[in-house]
Amino acid sequence: MDHFLYRDGALHAEDVPIARIAEAVGTPFYVYSTATLLRHFHLFDDALAGTDHLVCYAMKAASNQAILKTLAQAGAGMDVVSGGEYLRAKAAGVPGDRIVFSGVGKTAEEIRTALTGGIRQFNVESEPEMEVINAVAQDLGVIAPITVRVNPDVDAKTHAKIATGKSENKFGIPIARAPQVYAHAASLPGLKVVGIDVHIGSQLTDLEPFRLAYSKVAELTEQLRAQGHDIHRLDLGGGLGIPYARSNEAPPLPVEYGAMIKETLGHLGCEIEIEPGRLIAGNAGLMVSKVIYVKSGEGRDFLILDGAMNDLIRPAMYDAYHDIVPVIEPAPGVEQRPYDIVGPVCETGDTFAKQRNMPPLNPGDLVAFRSAGAYGAVMASEYNTRPLIPEVLVNGDQFAVIRERPTFDEIINRDTIPEWL
């Protein structure tokens, strides 16, 4: 469920007409719903009621500080994957003891930043990384809390580019080697083992891969405890999918996911951490764009928009589907026709949809890309010297620009011309 609905024939974000935002900030732009963000966070939080737990929002999905602050004030922790994300979370007011640091290639500088500013734990990806964390911690005279990310070799049955739990993926250590790695961790004086980490991928639409992975984690927990390790925290990652096409069968609900966690791991008495990102932010955001031209081609027609692949790269990168709807609701029974919906960038890949049925549209009409709140603005670029587009947050009948569109002068003036030129 989201809070983007037609009212009196016009698409609204909560109580704000989308057209009013477009008039104020121009197109294209992203708009997020506070009510949807909070609803989705509370779905996960409530699903784990009765257990010691922390829902850490995976901020790589959408990392604007206004979004982070909204979720942090509701009780969320943060899952970060870079030093920049760590500093962004801190700037949004998230305390270090609610920040989990994941990521495959943490640098010594990033580790030092987190240890200095406070960190809940590092989810360690490799033995060389473990050695660096230990060295930095000893240099600072502190103890670094860690979990080790294990790779359970479970097929998440998701897109190959977002699967992370198979043996050929770059993430974690093979689960069969975990006892050896944990023994090494226990020997390092700058580290304190607090638990186990696992994450098998993103946009999962079936609970069975989770069940297989978590069952392996349960066995490993008992094995490591028998070897003397204090395993009291299980970080289960994120990955629960969302329905990008409204006609698709809905993925499992957070309450079903929570019940499965309790079934597979509840007997261990561990604190549970989960790191949802897409399901919290995905359906909480739209990208709104304007039709520039309607073009007739050889055997097909094109809707050319002012939004492009640099603004929303998911269709070009993942062949991802987004529902695209007119901001003015079509009249009942209006005849639709197929269009290729494209942007203005000089790349064939700048195509959002092929032969998508749409009602008749004209230059100047607005369209909205649904489920664009996750991996939209955060993956945008200034390719073709196109400015990053504004982000807007709606709360009831209010809206605020939470990231401005830069001017061309601001973009161009970042360049520095060498003296010899």
> What residues are designated binding site?
239, 275-278, 314, 318, 347, 375
204 secondary structure, DSSP code:
B
Say if residues 133 and 168 touch (Cβ distance below 8 Å).
Answer: no
Number of H-type helices and E-type strands within the chain: 12, 21
In SS3 terms, 380-402 reads as CCCHHHCCCCCEEEEECCEEEEE
pLDDT value for 400: 98
Domain chopping of the chain, boundaries: 4-31+282-412, 34-280
Exposure b/e, 281-301, CB count within 10 A at least 16 = b: bbbbbbbbbbbbeeeeeeeee
Catalytic residue among 346, 397, 416, 418: 346
Structure tokens, 366: 């607005």
DSSP string, 282-350: GGGEEEEEEEEEEEE-SS-EEEEES--TTT--HHHHH-----EEESBPPPTT---EEEEEE-SSSSTT-
Q: Phi and psi for 219 in degrees, rounded to 5?
A: -60, -45
pLDDT value for 166: 42
pLDDT value for 155: 62
Cβ atoms within 10 Å, residue 350:
22
- pLDDT by residue for the chain (421 residues), tens only, comes to 689 999 999 999 999 999 999 999 999 999 999 999 999 999 999 999 999 999 999 999 999 999 999 999 999 999 999 999 999 999 999 999 999 999 999 999 999 999 999 999 999 999 999 999 999 999 999 999 999 999 988 764 544 444 444 445 556 899 999 999 999 999 999 999 999 999 988 788 889 989 999 999 999 999 999 999 999 999 999 988 888 876 566 788 999 999 999 999 999 999 999 999 999 999 999 999 999 999 998 889 999 999 999 999 999 998 999 999 999 999 998 999 999 999 999 999 999 999 999 999 999 999 999 999 999 999 999 999 999 999 999 999 999 999 999 999 999 999 999 999 9
How, if at all, do strands 4-7 and 10-13 pair? antiparallel
> What residues are designated binding site for pyridoxal 5'-phosphate?
239, 275-278, 375
What CATH number has the domain spanning 34-280?
3.20.20.10
Residue 174 CB partners (closer than 8 Å, separation 6+): 150, 151, 153, 167
Residue 46 CB partners (closer than 8 Å, separation 6+): 254, 255, 258
Establish whether 346 is a catalytic residue. yes
How, if at all, do strands 337-342 and 301-305 pair? parallel
Residue 219 CB partners (closer than 8 Å, separation 6+): none
Pick the CATH number of 4-31+282-412 from 3.50.50.60, 1.10.150.530, 2.60.120.560, 2.40.37.10: 2.40.37.10
Q: Is 124 helix (H, G, I), strand (E, B) or coil?
A: strand
Structure tokens, 412: 């161009």
Indicate left, alpha or beta for 265 from its phi (over 0: left) and psi (-120 to 50: alpha): alpha
Cα torsion 204, 63, 37, 30: sign: negative
